[in-house]
Amino acid sequence: MSTSTPSPADQGRRRTLAALVATAGAPLLARGGGARRRVGVVGAGMAGVACAWMLDGACDVVLFEAASSIGGNVQTIDVEVGGQVYPIDIGAQYFHPAAYPNYVALLAQLGLYPPSTGGSHDFPASITQFNAGQPRPGFVSPVLPGRVWPIAADWNRAGLAAFEICFAAAKLREQHDASYDLTLGVWLPRLGLTTEQWQGMLLPWCASLYNGDIEAAMGISARAALVFAAKTFPDKLTEPIVYYVLEQGMIEPLRRMAAQFTTVDLHTGAPVSAVTRTAGGFRIDASGAGVSAQVDDVVFASSGGPTLQLLAGISGTAAQRAALGRIAFFDTQMMLHTDPVYVPSEPRYASFLNSEVDGGYCEASMAMAAVYPDAPGGAPAVWKSWVTHRTSLPTQVLASASFRHLLSTPQSIHAQQALLKRQGEAGVWFAGGYTQPYDSQESALVSAMNVATGLGVAPRLGLPRA
């Protein structure tokens, strides 16, 4: 295998990790004779599109996507409410510079960040935690300077103390790069809180961010469960927790990356039916679409289940399959709707994130009016809700979608580590948020950066851990 150095023109055209971190690129891997290496990427969500984008110009890439368009778990839907159309993400939607440093660097490269570009804006991420059928919530977060009353309400003090102590402790653990092995069921009781505070408030709230099952949340890694709160919790209590959203939805950066492809052959509506090892590398077949490709390396940027099925056809992948099979996932159902069925009936108790405890489950409902308060035509009266375990469903549904997500247990994280020890072995690579301790657009991007680095395209620098 020979090594070639890209020309300045190629470097300028390519949007590799070097552009993200403003540093020089590493030598590129090439086949004998100087021809570009041929890489197949299965799955065109964030990980797959970003991987192809970073390899573009350095490799010939064939990118396969089963759906009719790119995106994966990124699903931006144009919904019409009151004659006004709003692009709303029914899947992944929010980001923050502290928790998404590489993603924000990517957005800046694509002209979508900071908010002064007109591509994004911030909003206060307020929280309400309440029990179904109860007249008053267990916790309502203040939003200063506007919503001050939760600080003075006697009934809210236990919740204020619980969330403040929890978030501050999680932030400290994150700063010290603490182990992912400690579960919520072990860590929360150590915070010096009452049982009602940790088991009645914090544990259900954490469950609402995952599969909604309160008992199952006991086994989730505490660091993984609280990573976003830890990284975005402000140093000053007078400052609100803010998050950011893209004006055209999270699909926009994927569209912009795809628009820059020069040596990427993208096939949508092409579910991969088989990947087999050949003398020259791999053959990827999307038989239903009549598409196949011969490649030197294959990058699985598809979800865990489909990847495991395809690995069965590749000889020499028993260790990878065993590791992947130990990563736990959960299914969830989401709905966009216009009837406020999962928020407190008293308007002043409602927040952006409304987590409702009902029996053994706690699921959240997000108010899009809090996310888009200044939208043309007014703030949309739309809620995005988890409905996997709800006893009743909305009646005014605009859209629905099902997703399969990583369940961040210590066992899953150890399995990820075992899988990544085999990264690139005999030309087989893995990318996706599920390969990192917590699933997000940031971790999906970092996984793609690591694959590009492994293929010799990106510099081997110390990347933020996801």
Q: Please give the mean pLDDT across all residues of the chain.
A: 92
**pLDDT tens for residues 273-292?**
999 999 999 999 999 999 99
The span from the CA of 190 to the CA of 438, in Å, is 23
Split at pLDDT 50, 70, 90, the class of 265 is: very high
Q: What is the pLDDT of residue 458?
A: 64
DSSP state letter for 110: T
**pLDDT tens for residues 352-381?**
999 999 999 999 999 999 999 999 889 999
Percent with pLDDT over 70 in the chain:
91
Is a pLDDT exceeding 70 seen at residue 86? yes
> Phi and psi at residue 410, in whole multiples of 5°?
-55, -35
Beta-strand ranges (E) seen in 374-445 are: 383-386, 397-406, 428-430
* Least confident residue range of 3-7, 48-52, 290-294: 3-7
CB crowding 25-57: b at 16 or more within 10 Å, else e: bbebbbbeeeebbbbbbbbbbbbbbbbbbbbbb
The span from the CA of 356 to the CA of 366, in Å, is 11
Q: What is the pLDDT of residue 17?
A: 39
Locus of tokens 């839907």: 77
Is a pLDDT exceeding 50 seen at residue 2? no
Split at pLDDT 50, 70, 90, the class of 235 is: confident
Split at pLDDT 50, 70, 90, the class of 33 is: low
Q: What is the pLDDT of residue 237?
A: 66
Closest CA to 46 of 452, 432, 331: 432
Is a pLDDT exceeding 60 seen at residue 263? yes
* Least confident residue range of 209-213, 232-236, 371-375: 232-236
pTM of this structure: 0.91
CB-CB neighbours of 120 under 10 Å: 19
**pLDDT tens for residues 294-326?**
999 999 999 999 999 999 999 999 999 999 999
Closest CA to 57 of 41, 37, 71: 37
Is a pLDDT exceeding 90 seen at residue 29? no
Maximum CA extent, the chain: 75
